[in-house]
């Protein structure tokens, strides 16, 4: 039985291997054919996207990572209280599995209270690649503003979100390798121009992707990512909260400047108005 499983895994991963070795930036489009979706390359070659999507069975998934809390029609799968999440260290590079920056472009919006991911500028049609090895949990149009949205769940326990896509190249429950093309970038949903909205979440809870990614070098900062109680901000699951004590002379404007954020952002995080008087000694969230 074990041998058969291994053989089967080899068999099904082989097409992905050859697929990822292509010049993946040279994809022009995908088209539906009677034989299934096909990918067109710039050099006028083409190939079928793949055979039937790989389905994971209970037997393949001893840890339950891809069967427990596995929902294909909701963007959040866990819906846990932050208190119930135990401290952990995520091994990002487990078993040597690599990381790929989904797309490289001008980073024009970072992780904030009102924005749970990174916005990366791109041209419509640019290839979006899978960050880590994993399985597609969600791949459909989302009315909440994400537009065409893909969510991958990874062997390291993280989920990555890819939004505003013009085209999705993969299907739900499909196995992907880090670096595999999963979509073409676009501007679907609530978006003012072509860009990738990229999120990293642990059990639904958003993390600042720049905690683990050395963006300009397009690699991981470290192979491990500690996720502890300290980084889970109880009010809103935010792992990146910076809370300071208000001192004499502080104004929302001054704090915004000091912490490289905006008055609007601080007001939203603390549910206060720009004209709210700050009380010395109280705590305020600035990031």
Q: Mapping DSSP to helix (H, G, I), strand (E, B) and coil, where does residue 224 land?
A: strand
Task: Give the integer Cα–Cα distance in Å for 253 and 244.
Answer: 14
Q: Toward Zn ion, which CB reaches closer, 119 or 126?
A: 119
Task: Give the integer Cα–Cα distance in Å for 45 and 280.
Answer: 67
Which residue's Cβ lies closest to Zn ion?
A: 197
DSSP letter assigned to residue 233:
B
CB 126 within 8 A of CB 185: yes
| Size of the residue set binding Zn ion (CB under 5 A) | 2
In the complex, the smallest distance separating the C-beta of residue 12 from Zn ion, rounded to whole angstroms, is 34
Q: Toward Zn ion, which CB reaches closer, 119 or 180?
A: 119
The answer to whether residue 201 forms part of the interface with Zn ion (CB under 5 A) is no
Interaction residues for Zn ion, span 48-87 (CB under 5 A): none
CB 177 within 8 A of CB 146: no
**1-32 burial: b if 16+ Cβ within 10 Å, else e:** eeeeeeeeeeebeeebeebbeeebeebeebee
Interface region with Zn ion, contact rule CB under 5 A, candidates 2-10, 50-58, 113-121, 244-252: 113-121
Q: Toward Zn ion, which CB reaches closer, 197 or 201?
A: 197
Q: Considering only residues 111, 119, 205, 261, which one is a binding residue for Zn ion as defined by CB under 5 A? A: 119
In the complex, the smallest distance separating the C-beta of residue 147 from Zn ion, rounded to whole angstroms, is 11
Tokens read off for 120: 């990366």
The answer to whether residue 154 forms part of the interface with Zn ion (CB under 5 A) is no
In the complex, the smallest distance separating the C-beta of residue 174 from Zn ion, rounded to whole angstroms, is 25
β-bridge mates for residue 134, sequence order:
154, 176
Q: Considering only residues 137, 197, 203, 285, which one is a binding residue for Zn ion as defined by CB under 5 A? A: 197
Interface region with Zn ion, contact rule CB under 5 A, candidates 114-122, 142-150, 152-160, 259-267: 114-122
Q: Toward Zn ion, which CB reaches closer, 119 or 208?
A: 119
For the chain, what is the total number of helices (H) and then of strands (E)? 3, 20
Task: Give the integer Cα–Cα distance in Å for 183 and 23.
Answer: 15
In the complex, the smallest distance separating the C-beta of residue 119 from Zn ion, rounded to whole angstroms, is 4
In the complex, the smallest distance separating the C-beta of residue 200 from Zn ion, rounded to whole angstroms, is 13
Instruction: Give the residues lining the site for Zn ion (CB under 5 A).
Output: 119, 197
């Amino acid at each position: 039985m074990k041998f058969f499983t291994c053989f089967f895994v080899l068999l099904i991963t082989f097409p992905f291997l050859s697929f990822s070795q292509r010049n993946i930036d040279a994809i022009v489009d995908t088209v539906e054919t009677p034989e299934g979706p096909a990918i067109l390359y710039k050099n006028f070659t083409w190939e079928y996207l793949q055979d039937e999507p790989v389905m994971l069975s209970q037997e393949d998934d001893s840890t339950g990572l891809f069967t427990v809390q596995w929902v294909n029609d909701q963007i959040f799968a866990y819906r846990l209280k932050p208190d119930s999440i135990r401290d952990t260290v995520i091994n990002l590079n487990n078993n040597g599995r690599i990381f790929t920056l989904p797309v490289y472009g001008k980073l024009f919006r970072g992780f904030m209270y009102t924005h749970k991911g990174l916005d990366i500028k791109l041209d419509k049609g640019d290839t979006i690649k899978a960050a880590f090895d994993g399985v597609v949990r969600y791949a459909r149009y989302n009315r909440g503003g994400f537009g065409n949205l893909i969510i991958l769940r990874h062997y390291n326990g993280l989920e990555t979100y890819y939004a505003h896509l013009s085209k999705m190249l993969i299907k739900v429950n499909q196995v992907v390798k880090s670096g595999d093309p999963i979509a073409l970038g676009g501007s679907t949903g609530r978006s003012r121009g072509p860009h990738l909205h990229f999120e990293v979440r642990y059990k639904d809870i958003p993390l600042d992707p720049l905690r683990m990614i050395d963006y300009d070098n397009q690699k991981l900062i470290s192979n491990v990512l500690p996720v502890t109680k300290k980084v889970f901000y109880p009010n809103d699951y935010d792992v990146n909260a910076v809370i300071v004590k208000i001192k004499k002379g502080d104004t929302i404007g001054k704090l915004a400047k000091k912490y490289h954020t905006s008055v609007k952002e601080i007001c939203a995080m603390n549910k206060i108005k720009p004209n709210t008087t700050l009380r010395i000694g109280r705590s305020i969230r600035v990031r």
